[in-house]
């Protein structure tokens, strides 16, 4: 592919080697797009990306020596003046990588309806809801998110919520080849900050909600920066769909360049939920509600709480804009299940057991508060905290569970390189600030067994923290551990 086509949508200056001489790009052919110096091949275009632990600019001379046709930089690099490698100077190489990758893969986003979802909570569940609705309506929909990437029948494990721009464009290209006509994806604040989702305009951008999160070294310097980065999506989409009930909605959407539609319980929302009712039977919790405004229907969702209504409203709004009928929407909502997100596991007719990914104080508080609305006999919380992470999170989660759960089973999560009991004791420190009853059982399987064996009529038991994860990380090794498998083993052992 000619380099002029790859650079078409970028502003840049091109120099020959380490000189000040302007380069002629007319006949330059590119063989590959690379940002890893170990993967350089002759004729490639190499992107110098400045990362936390490694700066691609530092290997410019090595890359030129290996035969790269061009190097994209955002600062000066030291390569021989007589080198035939072309130096392309841009303002930001991550931003440039997104557009170069899009061009390399033939701008696949232009062949798909693209839906990007950002927010602190609800992104994962909402992406699956939307995908189910669109598939119900006859669309073939790809998905990119925290748990996995779905391309047709292929499921690929995810490393990042929003992959690097090259991978993102490659995934969309493969979706086009697989016959997909749309893609729904989670768009993280980090992804937006690092330009991973640049290179195209989204057909729809969705805002779910926002609370302080991902603030600290290598993430966001403060809450304002976090909100600003979330808001970048609404300068990169044609239609914005936003939760009107979130008190920070206007802050996040400040300076938006898209058309806007809103959803929520508020009077002024374009799509409103009314007549909310809770559904509770053994092994199943859910919500019933009606909608008014741009869509009028009766909805039933088999996951609990008000946040399930918000997720559903968001998905309904998107699906309606893409031409789905009321019947297709309501049918998809009734089947709404996402692995590790308020995932009900039937173990008894007497009590309800669920798995959820809540792994910080904010998420655990939201989950337990929601389940309180279902008036359980007892609310039982089973959770741990990850090793080599902030101790503050442990204190906070212990305190939240102590205040909101009737009984807590403190157990191990991913201890990583820490001693599990040290982590459990940190959680206990938070628990002791409350009157909450608790027990500590280090082995997670035994903790789950205890919860099941001691379950009482009308209890709701939550296994929090692991969610969709199917491993436990101990001393740098990931061992297979899926809570669904553990529960099955426990039930079989109990029968014996």
Kindly state the greatest CA–CA separation across the chain: 81
The fold for domain 3-104 equals 3.40.1390
pTM for the structure as a whole: 0.89
* pLDDT number for residue 213: 62
Count of residues making up the chain: 496
Nearest partner of 459 among 382, 406, 383, 397, judged by Cα: 406
* Domain chopping of the chain, boundaries: 3-104, 108-334, 343-495
Question: Residue 309 CB: number of other CB atoms within 10 A?
Answer: 21
pLDDT value of position 219: 65
Are the C-beta atoms of residues 491 and 362 closer than 8 Å to each other?
A: no
SS3 content of the chain, % helix, strand, coil (to 5): 35, 25, 40
108-334 CATH choice from 3.40.50.360, 3.90.650.10, 3.40.50.10490, 3.40.1190.10: 3.40.1190.10
CA distance linking residue 19 with residue 79, whole number of Å = 9
> Which residues, in sequence order, are CB contacts of 230 under 8 Å at separation 6+?
118, 119, 189, 192, 207, 210, 252
Q: What is the pLDDT along the chain (496 residues), one digit of tens a residue?
A: 999 999 999 999 999 988 888 999 989 999 999 999 999 999 999 999 998 889 999 999 999 999 999 999 999 999 988 899 999 999 999 999 999 999 999 999 999 999 999 998 889 999 999 999 999 899 999 999 999 999 999 999 998 888 999 999 999 999 999 999 999 999 998 899 999 999 999 999 999 998 866 556 666 667 888 888 899 999 999 999 999 999 999 999 999 999 999 999 999 999 999 999 999 887 789 999 999 999 999 999 999 999 999 999 999 999 999 999 999 999 999 988 888 999 999 999 999 999 999 999 989 999 999 999 999 999 999 999 999 988 999 999 999 999 999 999 999 999 999 999 999 999 999 999 999 999 999 999 999 999 999 999 999 999 999 999 999 999 989 999 999 999 999 999 999 8
SS3 321: helix
Q: Looking at residue 121, what is its pLDDT?
A: 87
Superfamily assignment of 343-495 in CATH?
Mur ligase, C-terminal domain (3.90.190.20)
The candidate with the shortest Cα–Cα distance to 141, out of 187, 183, 204, 174, is 183
Contacts with 124 (C-beta within 8 Å, 6 or more apart), sequence order:
145, 146, 147, 186, 338, 341, 357
Question: What is the residue-wise DSSP string for 378-425?
Answer: -EEEEE---SSS-HHHHHHHHHHHHHH-SEEEE--S--BTS-HHHHHH
């Amino acid at each position: 592919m000619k380099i002029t086509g790859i650079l078409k949508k970028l502003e840049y200056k091109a120099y020959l080697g380490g000189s000040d001489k302007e380069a002629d790009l007319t006949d330059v052919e590119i063989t590959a797009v690379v940002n890893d110096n170990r993967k350089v091949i002759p004729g490639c275009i190499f992107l110098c990306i400045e990362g936390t632990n490694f700066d691609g600019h530092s290997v410019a001379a090595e890359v030129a020596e290996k035969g790269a046709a061009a190097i994209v930089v955002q600062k000066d690099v030291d390569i021989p003046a007589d080198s035939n490698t072309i130096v392309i100077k841009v303002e930001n190489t991550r931003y440039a990588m997104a557009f170069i990758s899009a061009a390399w893969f033939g701008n696949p986003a232009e062949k798909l309806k693209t839906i990007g979802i950002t927010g602190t909570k609800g992104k994962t569940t909402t992406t699956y809801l939307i995908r189910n609705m669109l598939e119900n309506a006859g669309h073939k929909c790809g998905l990119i998110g925290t748990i996995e990437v779905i391309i047709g029948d292929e499921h690929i494990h995810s490393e990042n919520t929003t992959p690097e721009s090259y991978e993102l464009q490659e995934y969309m290209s493969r979706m086009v080849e697989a016959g997909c006509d749309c893609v729904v994806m989670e768009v993280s604040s980090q992804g937006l900050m690092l330009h991973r989702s640049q290179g195209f305009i989204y057909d729809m951008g969705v805002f779910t909600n926002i609370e302080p999160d991902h603030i600290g070294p290598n993430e966001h310097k403060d809450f304002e920066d976090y909100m600003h980065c979330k808001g970048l999506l609404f300068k990169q989409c044609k239609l914005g769909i936003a939760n009107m009930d979130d008190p920070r909605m206007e802050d996040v959407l400040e300076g938006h360049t898209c058309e806007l539609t809103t959803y929520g319980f508020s009077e002024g929302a374009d799509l409103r939920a009314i007549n909310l009712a809770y559904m509770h039977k053994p092994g199943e919790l859910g919500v019933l509600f009606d909608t008014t405004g741009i869509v009028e229907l009766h909805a039933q969702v088999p996951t609990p709480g008000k946040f399930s209504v918000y997720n559903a409203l968001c998905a309904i709004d998107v699906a309606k804009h893409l031409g789905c009928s009321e019947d297709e929407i309501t049918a998809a909502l009734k089947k709404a299940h996402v692995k590790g997100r308020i995932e009900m596991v039937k173990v008894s007719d007497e009590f309800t057991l669920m798995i959820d990914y809540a792994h910080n104080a904010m998420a655990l508080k939201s989950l337990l508060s929601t389940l309180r609305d279902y008036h359980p006999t007892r609310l039982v919380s089973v959770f741990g905290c990850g090793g080599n992470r902030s101790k503050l999170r442990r204190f906070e989660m212990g305190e939240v569970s102590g205040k909101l759960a009737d009984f807590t089973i403190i157990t191990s999560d991913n201890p990583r390189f820490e001693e599990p009991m040290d982590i459990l004791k940190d959680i206990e420190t938070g628990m002791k600030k409350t009157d909450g009853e608790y027990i500590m059982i280090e082995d997670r399987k035994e903790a789950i067994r205890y919860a099941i064996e001691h379950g009482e009529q009308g209890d709701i038991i939550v296994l929090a923290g692991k969610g969709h994860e199917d491993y436990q990380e101990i001393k740098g090794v990931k061992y297979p551990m899926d809570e669904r498998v553990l529960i099955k083993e426990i039930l079989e052992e109990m029968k014996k």
